Amino acid sequence: MTIEEEFAKVYGLEPITSKTVPGRVNLIGEHTDYNGGLVLPTTVAKSVSVAIGEAMDEQFCFTSAKFPDPVRRDVAAVRNGHWSDYPLAAFAWLKEHGYWRRGAEVYIDSDLPHGSGLSSSAALIVSILKAVVALTGPSLSDVEIARAAQDVENRYLGVPCGIMDQMAVALASSDQALMLDTETLAFELIDLPLDYAFVVAHSGIYRRLDEGRYAIRREECEAAASALDVSLLCHLDTDSAMKRIDTLEEPFCKRARHVWTEHCRVAQAAIALKSGDLNAFGQLMTESHASMRDDFEISLPVIDEMVEAAVQMGAAGSRLTGGGFGGCFVSLVKSGHIDAWQKEMSTAFPEITFV
């Protein structure tokens, strides 16, 4: 059934608006977004869909394919650790800015695995914002929608995320990567190769960005930037960045080294992608994972094993993707080798699933 039909089945009437938004995979550029750096995400085939109707009262009712029992919420109490915090927070923003006035009935469906590092939360929030704004106006650009979605997570949900996820799901397409400067929001869409594919696999380990470890890394980056007398780590001068970073105490030296080198890797990866040098791109992916493992310390031993095996089995490069501490990894594989590669990986790691 369509999302509109699912809504009608649950609520007994047609929705007044609906929207589908894809998830995203970050090809390279992890934890650079809130440090003013470069990122290079693209969308994935899986997505989040929402259908929305207006309620007769001030209450918000949420149901989903995964959570079929209706839950009723008051917009005055957004954060209570429930799965419906995210859609409720989106409506809190819409009410604050005059796009929605009463309660709502909402049905949500998604084939994006939650806690996988594929931005299911950003896709859900962006889908609600786009659906309502398109209905009630005034219109917002995709960049403005992305900024609003980030505001929803930062202010209403207390997740100190950057802007990458929201920009990626709002702007990118499945056949292009989004080269984004997260400070200026200047972006370029780069065509993806036809003879290679970025294959996403879920490690089987789920994580939550609001559980604390993500926030700790951000705080460490902010402390490192303060010690280096810059507002953001990616404001460092290219010629002296590494020399200055090496003067920091641990763990701040490691955190800053990852952010700066990752920022530089994204610039190199964009050049490699545009020139068709996929071997160079793959090498940068593998270097990125090593940096996340050793300097930013957000990987896990089992994911390290998966990434190493992915390359040994023929991938040009592989890396953890997303906030870390679980979720997905992405590998660059020749198009004609994907089936055999996936079979070999599944045999070695039965717990993984391909997205």
| Strand-pair partners of 331 | 199, 318
Q: Domains (ranges, CATH) in the chain?
A: 3-191 (3.30.230.10), 196-354 (3.30.70.890)
Of 62, 116, 52, 55, residue with least CA distance to 86: 62
DSSP structure string for 216-283? HHHHHHHHHHHHTT-SSGGGS-TTTHHHHHTTSPTTHHHHHHHHHHHHHHHHHHHHHHHHT-HHHHHH
Q: How far apart are CA 292 and CA 328, in angstroms?
A: 14
For position 186, what pLDDT does the model report? 95
- C-beta neighbour count of 77 within 10 angstroms: 10
**239: annotated active-site residue:** no
Let me know: does 48 contact 107? Beta carbons within 8 Å.
no
Tens of pLDDT, residues 179-189: 999 999 999 99
For position 209, what pLDDT does the model report? 53
At 40, which helix (H) or strand (E)?
Answer: strand 38-54
**Residue 118, pLDDT above cutoff 80:** no
Mean pLDDT over the full length of the chain: 94
Q: How confident is the model at residue 137 (pLDDT cuts 50, 70, 90)?
A: confident
DSSP structure string for 153-171? IIIIS-----SHHHHHHHH
Q: How far apart are CA 202 and CA 139, in angstroms?
A: 36
Which of 196 and 174 is assigned the larger pLDDT? 196
**Residue 210, pLDDT above cutoff 60:** no
Q: How far apart are CA 29 and CA 42, in angstroms?
A: 12
- Show the tokens assigned to 233: 């780590």
Q: What is the DSSP letter of 152?
A: I
Q: What pTM was computed for the model?
A: 0.88
Strands 187-191 and 60-64: unpaired
**Residue 313, pLDDT above cutoff 80:** yes
Q: How far apart are CA 159 and CA 150, in angstroms?
A: 9
- Which of 33, 109, 165, 295 is labelled catalytic? 165
Question: Which positions ≥6 away from 232 have C-beta within 8 Å?
Answer: 35, 36, 37, 183, 225
Let me know: does 294 contact 268? Beta carbons within 8 Å.
no
Q: How far apart are CA 89 and CA 319, in angstroms?
A: 32
Q: How confident is the model at residue 338 (pLDDT cuts 50, 70, 90)?
A: very high
